[in-house]
Amino acid sequence: MQNIKIDKLFPIKENKNGVQIIITDEVPSTYKDWAKINNFNAESGQVLMTIDNKVIVGKGDLNDIFYFADIYNKLPDGEYIEPNLKSSEKQNLIIGWALSAYNFDSYKSEKTNINKSLYTQNDENKKTALSIAQGIYLCRDMINTPANDMTPQDIENQVVKLANQFEAETNIITGSELKKSYPLIHAVGKASINKPRLIELNWGNAKHPHLHLIGKGISFDSGGLDLKPSNAMLLMKKDMGGAGNIIGLAHIIMANKLPVRLKVLIPSAENMVSENSFRPMDILKSRKGITVEVGNTDAEGRLVLADALTYAGQNKNQADLTIDMATLTGAARIAVGADMPAFFCDDDKIANEYYKAGVKTNDPVWRMPLHKPYKKLLDTPNADISSCSQNGLAGAITAGLFLQEFVNEKTNWIHIDLMAYNNTKSIGKPIGGEAMGIRALWELLKNRYQ
């Protein structure tokens, strides 16, 4: 896995000899003739290089990180000094710059040269912005890494590495203990030579509010015996995108010392085919004791999340808030597209706060209903519940309702169904793994707990 390249992008040492960035909504009088020759009129995102070591940039929305990401793309190689900005705007500058600078070249013989640097004053705003950029890079790198190098063991290694960085504790449950205590996670992953596991990280003061983060860590999804067609399998290295996003968010939380007792749970498995595969219509007993009839082996994510949610709810120190993230349903992508996560929440106040945080950070999310009457679509005469609706309707909603059966009723809960991948390239968003909804989550969490 490649090293995060933030240090090269943002050297700690301040450099006074770089090109000074000046952001303005009108052409400075000194450069009017030069601006006219270059058809520069200070419109948003326009760039004008000068002969006196300055670059004039047309002022746009300084609250939009993608405005700054676009500036990065337009500037030639060189060393640049930050413009005069407010603290929140400076954070947007650094994060936007980083999003555009990202590249994944771990498996290429010729590495990408990064010859564009931004120099900024060292302060808390820079530290926070760097932590967010690093969390996003970590998330993107994990999702982009192919499944042969991002097995459940490799996901575990990343969590352990993160724990060592921030002096957190880890607990890994696998083998016979997993089969006994987390039977759904075991059932999904037992067909693979890369054994399933529950990866747990704990950090922070136990006296602080408890925050539980759960990420679906299916390192590769063949669909199981309900085998996916080959074209649908091409992106299934990203089926651990929920885990990647949660791990990236955990990095941001710990780097900023958010006053919470953090528990991260990553139920991780490969959904593969062998003589040991779980089957359609198998009836499995969950950790909670609820029996689940397998409606489709390709709906495996909700199974591993169910056991993790149950464990989170059984913890003796009840969580103030539980958040799970998962690349769970194609139905969510049909409903809201690939650019934003659909989310479900059982508390209107928290749901509104999360939505507003998404608007503020330009990290959009959209709430979907936990429509109770649809729960009957999960009825089966053979078990307590079916893992999925047989008529295919309301797929994202019924998945959310299924998960809700395993959530402690006393805990506030957000379930996030995301793509975690950019199929097309846009400003600050290269093709590949993506952090979706975690900048909005950080905004929500810091407002809630700081």
Q: What is the pLDDT of residue 2?
A: 46
* CA 382 – CA 66 distance, rounded (Å): 51
Burial degree of 312 (CB within 10 A; 0-12, 13-18, 19+): buried
CATH architecture group of domain 131-449? 3-Layer(aba) Sandwich (3.40)
CA distances from 53 to 56, 58, 265 (A): 10, 17, 50
Give the other-Cβ count within 10 Å of 1's Cβ: 15
Sheet containing 54-58: order of strands: 47-49, 54-58, 19-24, 78-81, 116-119
- The set of residues, in sequence order, having a beta carbon less than 8 Å from that of 162 and lying 6+ positions away, is 138, 168, 201, 247, 250, 251, 254
| CA pair distance 102, 429, nearest whole angstrom | 9
pLDDT at 7: 52
Q: Which residues of 92-123 are buried (b: 16+ CB within 10 A; e: fewer)?
A: bbbbbbbbbbbbbeeeeeeeeeeebbbbbeee
Alpha carbons 120 and 10: distance in angstroms, whole number: 7
Spatial separation of the C-alpha atoms in residues 317 and 304, rounded to whole Å: 22
Distance CA 419, CA 125 (A): 30
Q: Does residue 410 carry a catalytic annotation?
A: no
Q: Whole-prediction pTM value?
A: 0.96
Task: Choose, from 228, 360, 367, 446, the residue flagged as catalytic.
Answer: 228
Contact 353, 376 (CB under 8 A): no
- pLDDT tens per residue across all 450 residues of the chain: 545 455 555 544 455 678 999 999 999 999 999 999 999 999 999 999 999 999 999 999 999 999 999 999 999 999 899 999 999 999 999 999 999 999 999 999 988 877 888 888 888 888 999 999 999 999 999 999 999 999 999 999 999 999 999 999 999 999 999 999 999 999 999 999 999 999 999 999 999 999 999 999 999 999 999 999 999 999 999 999 999 999 999 999 999 999 999 999 999 999 999 999 999 999 999 999 999 999 999 999 999 999 999 999 997 778 999 999 999 999 999 999 999 999 999 999 999 999 999 999 999 999 999 999 999 999 999 999 999 998 889 999 999 999 999 999 999 999 999 999 999 999 999 999 999 999 999 999 999 998
Tokens of 69: 């990401």
C-alpha–C-alpha distance, residues 266 and 250, integer Å:
12
CATH (residue range 6-110): 3.40.220.10
Q: Residue 346 and residue 337: Cα distance in Å, rounded? A: 23
Instruction: Locate the domains of the chain by residue range.
Output: 6-110, 131-449
Residue 12 has a pLDDT of 41
**Integer Cα distance of 93 and 74 in angstroms:** 14
Strand partners, 92: none
User: How far is residue 407's CA from residue 404's CA, in Å, rounded to a whole number?
Assistant: 5
Both ends of the chain: CA-CA distance in Å?
Answer: 33
**Which residues are CB-neighbours of 70 under 8 A, at least 6 positions away?**
45, 96, 100, 427, 428
Q: What is the pLDDT of residue 11?
A: 47
Cα–Cα distance for residue pair 415/345, rounded to 1 Å: 6
DSSP H/E element including 323: strand 321-326
Catalytic residue (one of 5, 288, 302, 333):
302
- Residues 6 or more apart whose CB falls under 8 angstroms from that of 297 comprise 223, 224, 225, 226, 271, 277, 278, 279, 280
pLDDT at position 129: 94
**Is 302 an active-site residue?**
yes
pLDDT at position 49 is 96
Angle at the Cα of 166 (from 163 to 172), degrees rounded to 5?
15
